[in-house]
Amino acid sequence: SQTIHQWPATLVQPVGSPLSLECTVEGTSNPNLYWYRQAAGRGLQLLFYSVGIGQISSEVPQNLSASRPQDRQFILSSKKLLLSDSGFYLCAWSGPRAGAETQYFGPGTRLLVL
């Protein structure tokens, strides 16, 4: 069966510091991968998605970037965090073929920028 991991679970960072959040998927190959942000009391905002290694599409211009160095690894980064980067970050995957319409989510990372 497939599983998706995110770490860290919680992170407190000062403004201006760098960020690296990691997401890995097990039990599948060539998944589509997604990063979402959920601000307090609000819905989900798609930040980035990737259909393959090195292929990143950005949905919203912002202070963040994403990379996919390996097939089942997706990284969210920032060089200098802003207060507005605080939120709950969710990684998700979907299959490349059958069942590709369904996304499955990781446990999330709670980021607080102070």
Partner 1 sequence: AQSVTQLGSHVSVSEGALVLLRCNYSSSVPPYLFWYVQYPNQGLQLLLKYTSAATLVKGINGFEAEFKKSETSFHLTKPSAHMSDAAEYFCAVSDLYSSASKIIFGSGTRLSIRP
User: What is the binding site for partner 1 (CB under 8 A)?
Assistant: 6, 32, 34, 42-44, 46, 49-51, 57, 88, 90, 92, 94, 100-108, 110
CB of 80 to partner 1, least distance (A): 26
Cis peptide before 8 (omega within 30 of 0): yes
Nearer to partner 1, 42 or 80 (CB): 42
Handedness of CA 38, 79, 60, 55 (dihedral sign): negative
In the complex with partner 1, the residue whose CB is nearer, 62 or 110, is 110
Cβ proximity to partner 1: between 64 and 91 the closer is 91
* Minimum distance of partner 1 from residue 59's CB (angstroms): 8
Between CA 27 and CA 50 the distance in angstroms is 18
C-alpha 88/C-alpha 84 separation (Å) is 12
Residue closer to partner 1 by CB (options 42, 79) is 42
DSSP assignment letter at 71: T
The label of the residue with tokens 């890995």 reads 24
